[in-house]
Structure 1
Amino acid sequence: MPNDFPAAALPDGPFDGRHAFRAHLQTALSAAARQNWREIVLSDPEFDDWPLGERAIVDALQAWSAAGRRFVLLAQRFGVFEREHARFVHWRRMWSHIVECRACDGPGLPEVPSAIWTPSWFLHRIDVDHGRGVCGSEPEGRRALRERLDECLRHARPAFPASTLGL
């Protein structure tokens, strides 16, 4: 996957396959700094097939990171991060003051969607097994996804601490 998408437009419309999902994620995170996004929400039950440990992803997050920004990570479980996303874990520790990690897992709680949400763009993987979904900037899609995310966040608890203190 290329490390730089200087003039790539954000994707719009349906997408199909893991490769398209990964490319859309990279394009979106590369656009985050250029477009001065104040907030990014990444949501997935486990993040097991996200390329968050890749250098290009962490470099894009590093370019975006600044005071006044907010990064929300919503999942059911965070166990995969230490095993599969070491670069991301390091970035998360450095920027813990702008990163909020929440877990929504339990009987009767809403299902965590596989999605990216920003104030101006979204991506929603509707069929995770096949990597199919939709993305774009249209307000109705962003609003509907944000409502789903907010419902999960209402029930979520703090999770995936930046550091573990022990005796």
Structure 2
Amino acid sequence: MNDTAATPAEPLRDLPSGRFSGREAFQQLVRDAIATAARDGWQEIFVSDANFHDWPLGERAVVEALQDWARSGRRFTMLACSYDDVIRRHARFVRWRGTWDHIITCRRSPAADPLDLPSALWSPHWVLHRLDPERCTGVTGCEADRRVLLRETLNEWVRSKSAPGFPSTTLGL
């Protein structure tokens, strides 16, 4: 098994470029992207959504792919308005997140308008950007300009519009 980063042409083999429409298509694209990340050894994954309600993060296959992907030197970043839905709906993911806390950064932007926060999955090789979260329509692709523009947008949210959030453990009395 090859652990080197995928060349730009490899993601095209399994991940589409272009428009998508519908919740099922969106969820399948997320599943396929995480599986490709594990198989091709992507070094970084950045996911962003107002609440991750529609994302298949709690599915066994997705968490198993994340487990296969996770190792030292990898980075996983999450950005959300709120993580309440993640905690309620994606128990497997929450357990995985606790195990791999050392490679995961979670940011929260509670004051943001949920429609302003990008709904996206970014990697150095391929991106998924849900332009209309309510109708689940968006675009995917591996074009450099698409990847750079989305990363700059996400970086701006992290840098100036969010704070740390979603701790891996909750301290209580």
Q: Secondary structure at the match of 2:101?
A: coil
Instruction: Tell me which of 149, 152, 156 is aligned to 2:154.
Output: 149
Q: Match for 2:157: what amino acid?
A: C
1:140 corresponds to which residue?
145
Instruction: Return the offset for 1:107.
Output: 6.2
1:25 corresponds to which residue?
30
Judging changes above 3 Å, is the alpha-carbon distance between structure 1 residues 10 and 107 closer, same or farther for their aligned structure 2 residues?
A: closer
Identity of aligned residues (%): 49
CA distance in 2, matches of 1:25, 1:133: 12
Q: TM-score, normalised by structure 2?
A: 0.88
CA distance in 2, matches of 1:114, 1:82: 18
Instruction: Tell me which of 72, 89, 94 is aligned to 1:67.
Output: 72
1:82 corresponds to which residue?
87
CA distance in 1, matches of 2:52, 2:112: 20
Q: TM-score, normalised by structure 1?
A: 0.91
Q: Which blocks of at least 5 consecutive residues in structure 2 are unaligned?
A: 1-12
The runs of 4+ residues in structure 1 deviating greater than 3 Å are none
Superposed CA RMSD in Å reads 1.7
Deviations 1:115-161 (A, max 9, x none): 00001110000011111000010011111111110110012111000
Q: Secondary structure at the match of 1:60?
A: helix
Q: Confirm or deny: 8 A CA contact 1:69 1:98 kept in the other structure.
A: yes
Judging changes above 3 Å, is the alpha-carbon distance between structure 1 residues 107 and 82 closer, same or farther for their aligned structure 2 residues?
A: closer
CA distance in 2, matches of 1:14, 1:107: 26
Q: Which blocks of at least 5 consecutive residues in structure 1 are unaligned?
A: 1-7
